[in-house]
Structure 1
Amino acid sequence: MRQLKDYLVTLSLRKQLVLGFALTFLVSVVLGNLIIYTVVHNTIEASIEKELTNTTDNIANMVKSSADASIVNHLRAVAEKNQEIVRYFYEQYRQGRLSEEDAKRKAGEILLSQTIGKTGYIYCLDSRGVLQVHPKISGSDLSKHEFIRRQTVSKEGYLEYEWANPGERTPRKKALYMSYFAPWDWIISASSYREEFKELFNVNDFRKSILSISFGKTGYPYVMDSKGNLVIHPKLQGQNILDSKDSSGREFIKEICAKKAGKIIYPWQNPGDAKPRDKLVIFNYIPEFDWIVASSGYLEEFNGPLATIGYATLLTLGLVILLVVPITWYISASINRPIQGIMRGFAKGAQGDYSSRIDTTGGVEVRQLATYYNDFMEKLTESNRSLLASEEKYRLLFENAVEGVFTLTPDGKFLSATPSMARMLGYESRDLLLQEVEARGAEVYIEAHDQARLLAEIAGNGTLTGFETVLRRRDGSTLWVSLNARAFPDATGTIATIDGFCSDVTERKKAEEAQLRLKEELERRVVERTHELQETMEALSIEKAEAERALAALDKANRLVLESIQYARRIQHAMLPDKQALGDAVAEISVWWEPLHVVGGDYFWLERFGSKSLLLLADCTGHGVPGAFITLLVASALDNILHEKQLPPPSAILQALDELVRTRLRQDRPDATSNDGLDAAVCLWDADTRQITFAGAGLPLLYCRDGEVGEIRGNRASLGYCMPSSEAAFTDHVVEVQPGMTFYMITDGVPDHMGGEPRRLLGRKRLASIILANRDKPVAEQVQAIQQALDEYRGEEPRRDDTTLLGFRPI
Structure 2
Amino acid sequence: MNGHNSDLPESDLSSASSGIRVLLVDDQAFIGKMLGRMLESEEDIELHHFQSAREALKMADEISPTVILQDLVMPEIDGLNMVHYFRVKKHTQHTPLIVLSAQENPQVKAEAFALGANDYMVKPPDKIELIARIRYHSQAYMNRLQRDDAHRRLEEQTIKLTQTNEQLLEQIAERRRIESALRESKKKVEKEREAAESANKKVMDSIRYAKMIQSSLLPNPDNIKTFLSESFFIWMPRDIVGGDFIFTDIFEQGFIIAVLDCTGHGVPGAFMTMIASFGLKKIISGEGWHDPAQILKRLSFLVKTTLQQDTDYALSDDGLDAAVCFVEPDESRLTFAGAKLPLICNYDGEVKVIKGDRKSIGYKKSSLKFNFTNHTISINKGMSFYMFSDGFVDQLGGQRERRFGTRRLANLIRKNTHLPFDTQRDILIQAFNTWQEYGENERQDDVTVVGFGF
What letter is aligned with 1:762? F
Residue 198 of structure 2 is matched in structure 1 by 556
Residue 531 of structure 1 and its aligned partner are, at CA, apart by 8.3
Among 187, 191, 197, the alignment partner of 1:545 is 187
CA distance, structure 2, for counterparts of residue 539 and residue 757 of structure 1: 53
Is 1:590–1:783's contact at 8 Å kept on the other side of the alignment? Answer: yes
Residues 1:657 and 2:299 are matched in the alignment: yes
Q: Distance in 2 between matches of 1:641 and 1:692?
A: 19
SS at match of 2:373: coil
**Alignment of 1:744 onto 2:370:** no
CA distance in 2, matches of 1:775, 1:539: 68
Q: How do 1:338-737 and structure 2 match up within 5 A?
A: 533=175, 535-737=177-379
Which amino acid in structure 2 is aligned with residue 589 of structure 1? S
Indicate the SS of the match to 1:731: coil
Is contact 1:582–1:607 with CA below 8 Å preserved after alignment?
no
Alpha-carbon distance in structure 2 between the residues aligned to 1:759 and 1:604: 29
Displacement of 1:643 after TM fit? 1.4
Which of 409, 426, 449 in structure 2 is aligned with 1:805? 449
**Aligned-partner Cα distance in 2 for 1:592–1:799:** 15
Q: Decide whether the 8 Å contact of 2:290 with 2:326 is kept in 1.
A: no
Distance 1:711 1:541 in 2: 67
How far does residue 626 in structure 1 lie from its aligned partner after superposition?
A: 0.6
Counting only pairs closer than 5 Å after superposition, residues 193-342 of structure 1 correspond to structure 2 as none
Kept in 1: contact 2:388–2:449 (CA 8 A): yes
CA contact (8 A) 2:245 2:259 kept: yes
Separation in structure 1 between the aligned mates of residue 376 and residue 423 of structure 2, nearest angstrom: 27
Q: 1:786 and 1:727, CA in 2 relative to 1: closer, same or farther beyond 3 A?
A: same
Contact 1:579–1:606 (CA under 8 A) maintained in structure 2: no
Deviation, 1:631, is 0.6
- Counterpart Cα distance in 1 of 2:281 and 2:301: 14
> In structure 2, how many angstroms separate the alpha carbons of the residues matched to 1:690 and 1:534?
86
After TM superposition, give the deviation of residue 740 of structure 1 in Å: 1.2
Structure 1 residues 537-592: Cα deviation after superposition (integer angstroms, max 9, x where no partner): 43233123223222322222222111111111111111212123334433401101
1:764-783 equivalence runs, <5 A: 764-783=406-425
Look up the SS of the partner of 2:330 in the other structure: coil
Contact 2:233/2:425 (CA < 8 Å) preserved in 1?
Answer: yes
CA distance in 1, matches of 2:436, 2:299: 34
Distance, in Å, in 1 between the alignment partners of 2:390 and 2:330 is 32
1:530 Cα deviation from its structure 2 partner: 8.6
Structure 1 residue runs of 4 or more that deviate by more than 4 Å after TM superposition: 528-535
Cα contact 1:585–1:611 (8 A) shared by 2: no
Secondary structure of the residue aligned to 1:804 is strand
Cα shift at 1:529 = 6.3
Return closer, same or farther for 1:549/1:749 CA change in 2, 3 Å cut-off: same
Q: Distance in 2 between matches of 1:583 and 1:639?
A: 20
1:5 corresponding residue in structure 2? none
Give distance in 1, aligned partners of 2:320 and 2:177: 58
Tell me the CA shift for residue 534 of structure 1. 6.0
Aligned partner (choices 387, 390, 403) of residue 761 of structure 1: 403
| Aligned-residue offset at 1:630 | 0.7
Deviation at 1:646, TM superposition (A): 2.8
Give the structure with higher Rg (CA): 1
| Matched residue SS, 1:722 | coil
In the alignment, residue 196 of structure 2 is paired with which amino acid? Answer: L
The Cα of 1:675 is off from its aligned counterpart by 0.6
Q: 2:127 maps to what in 1?
A: none
Measured at CA, do residues 611 and 586 of structure 1 come closer, stay the same or move farther in structure 2, by a change above 3 Å? farther
| Paired amino acid for 1:750 | F
Deviations 1:747-766 (A, max 9, x none): 00010121111211111121
CA distance in 1, matches of 2:287, 2:310: 24
The 1-side partners of 2:450 and 2:425 are apart by 8
The CA deviation at 1:610 is 2.0
- Amino acid corresponding to residue 708 of structure 1 in structure 2: E
Distance 1:540 1:645 in 2: 67
- The aligned amino acid for 1:549 is K
TM superposition score normalised by structure 1: 0.34
Specify the SS of the correspondent of 1:574: helix
1:785 aligned to 2:427?
yes
Which has the higher relative contact order, 1 or 2, with Cα contacts under 8 A spaced 6 or more apart?
2
How does the TM-score come out when normalised to structure 2? 0.60
Distance in 2 of aligned mates of 1:681 and 1:545: 56
What residue identity is the alignment partner of 1:706? D
Look up the equivalent residue of 2:452 and give its one-letter code: F
Partner secondary structure for residue 718 of structure 1:
coil
Conservation of the 8 A alpha-carbon contact between 1:743 and 1:807: yes
How far apart are residue 617 of structure 1 and its match? 0.9
Per the TM alignment, residue 724 of structure 1 is displaced from its structure 2 partner at its CA by: 4.4
Q: Is the CA contact (8 Å cut-off) linking 2:360 and 2:366 kept in structure 1?
A: no
Partner SS state of residue 744, structure 1: strand
Identity of aligned residues (%): 39
Distance 1:699 1:805, change over 3 A: same
**Correspondence for 2:54:** none
Say which SS state the counterpart of residue 580 (structure 1) adopts: helix
Residue deviations 1:758-792 (CA, integer Å, cap 9, x gap): 21111112112221221210111111101101111
SS state at 1:540 partner: helix
* Unpaired segments ≥5 residues, structure 1: 1-524
